Amino acid sequence: MRAEVAIALKDLRLLARDRTNAFFVLVFPLAIAIFFGSVFGIGTGAGSISLAVLNECNGALAQAYVRDLASAATLKIVPVPSREQGETLVRRGTASAMIVLPADFDAKASRMLSGGQIEIEFLSDPSRSAERGLLQGLLTQMGFQTMLHAFESPTLARSLLSQSRLALMVAPDMQPQRRKDIAALLDAAQTVTGDPEASVQENAKAKNIGKHGENREVSGAVGDDANGDTNTSSIDNSKRAQMLSNMPEMVRVNMRELAQATNQPSNPFAITFPQGIAWGLMGCVVAFAASLAEERSRGTMVRLATAPIQRMQVLLGKWIGCFTSCMVVILLLTLVAVTLLHVQVQSWPLLALGSVTCAFAFSGLAMGMAGIFRSEGSARSAGSAVMLILAMVGGGTIPLAFMPPFLRTASGISPFHWAIISIEGAVWRGFSLAEMALPLLILVVVGVLGFFVSVLAMQWSKN
């Protein structure tokens, strides 16, 4: 048994002394645990979806609707003064989507019991389809909620009912049976909201139900029921839900994607193609970092370092190799995307600029990683792990919307985030040169920093 213990102790010591192992055994799992824990754990998604709202109505119901949206834990409402500004936010990726509450929001809402339907214009970022589905559901849900809240104010409810009766009377094409059904519905609603006697009866009925443990109260009044009507709390929730379920869909969300807004054909590959480029660049980084580390461990670096050339030339030669391979990856993927997948590029000059900058950043990153990771094994394994973490943080694997605020802020440190944004900016986001400036600048800084680290590492190895 002594021998077995000795072997086990030896292996544990080896594990502890190898920094690559230490990284994989401790740092990497910790990073993964923190990342996914943050994504799926406490505080998930709080204010994670940024929604630009253009309220062209500003009526009581429209405002109530916006307030209801703001109360949703996953939403962060960004009011915008104009359609253009909202579109810009979506195009830049600052907002996941924009909604436009039409000028007749309140007018249509007041006729909802007689078939009125509010149409909300919805402009989404096509690269964030996961958020789009979530948002669509939320918009519909909040429409119902706003209407429920409206019924909590008897004054507003009565107004809704009277306007609906009026609309019903003048509705020209309604089938008799349908007209009869809606009239019956309005009568039923009247007993709930308008008739004091009916209200008392309903109240008593509700109390009776309450004794049996059913949920009967609705809390969280909308601002415009501040008239203090005590009947508000006595309206049965299930009754209202039943009443509303008989109505046609109140909020219709007219979906539109940003690509359509910018008059370009939408193509799902246009969205996945920038991400493909980022992953291709990651492959280049790891391969080059490993090959540089291999040169060092095999001794070929000695030959390079003792050749009658400057050390900077050696680094530059390595950098050029990596840069070229990054460019080849981008060119090949672009070629495939354009010819086979029919991706349409909005701005070729900006794509060229973005590609060169991405290649610059990632080749600098490869040099930096080769400087940090001294052996081929650590460059390949730990390098891949680091890149994977950067890809995850940068939104390469999990949509940013599903990340907690601190991770979304942290995504700014990931070159993947900026690489994807810059390529998307040129391909379908319709970025101007000024809008491209920030991601490009950050990528240039990443490239320079990486190269600087490699120079430092080479200097350090001389000591």
State the residues that interact with another protein by CB under 8 A: 297-300, 302-310, 462-463
C-beta of 246 vs 459, nearer to another protein: 459
C-beta of 302 vs 437, nearer to another protein: 302
Using CA atoms, how far apart are residues 338 and 270, in angstroms rounded to an integer?
9
> Min. distance of Cβ 319 from another protein in angstroms?
16
C-beta of 243 vs 322, nearer to another protein: 322
C-beta of 260 vs 291, nearer to another protein: 291
> Min. distance of Cβ 460 from another protein in angstroms?
11
C-beta of 220 vs 317, nearer to another protein: 317
> Min. distance of Cβ 11 from another protein in angstroms?
25
C-beta of 309 vs 456, nearer to another protein: 309
C-beta of 212 vs 462, nearer to another protein: 462
> Min. distance of Cβ 284 from another protein in angstroms?
17
> Min. distance of Cβ 452 from another protein in angstroms?
20
- Quickly tell me which residue has 């579109």 as its tokens: 87
C-beta of 210 vs 317, nearer to another protein: 317
CA 236 to chain CA centroid, Å, is 37
SS (H, E, C) the chain: CHHHHHHHHHHHHHHHHCHHHHHHHHHHHHHHHHHHHHHHCCCCCCCCEEEEEEECCCCHHHHHHHHHHHHCCCEEEEECCCHHHHHHHHHHCCCCEEEEECCCHHHHHHCHHHCCCEEEEEEECCCCHHHHHHHHHHHHHHHHHHHHHHHHCHHHHHHHHHHHHHHHHHCCCCCHHHHHHHHHHHHHHHHHHCCHHHHHHHHHHHHHHHHCCCCCCCCCCCHHHCCCCHHHHHCCHHHHHHHHHCCCCCEEEEEEEHHHHCCCCCCHHHHHHHHHHHHHHHHHHHHHHHHHHHHHHHCHHHHHHHCCCCHHHHHHHHHHHHHHHHHHHHHHHHHHHHHCCCCCCCCHHHHHHHHHHHHHHHHHHHHHHHHHCCCHHHHHHHHHHHHHHHHHHCCCCCCHHHCCHHHHHHHHHCHHHHHHHHHHHHHCCCCCHHHHHHHHHHHHHHHHHHHHHHHHHHHHHHC
Q: Is 341 exposed, middle or buried (0-12, 13-18, 19+ CB in 10 A)?
A: middle
For residue 211, CA distances in Å to 18, 153, 238 come to 67, 25, 15
Amino acid in position 343: V
> Min. distance of Cβ 300 from another protein in angstroms?
5
> Min. distance of Cβ 309 from another protein in angstroms?
7
> Min. distance of Cβ 322 from another protein in angstroms?
17
C-beta of 419 vs 458, nearer to another protein: 458
> Min. distance of Cβ 374 from another protein in angstroms?
14
C-beta of 305 vs 338, nearer to another protein: 305
> Min. distance of Cβ 302 from another protein in angstroms?
5
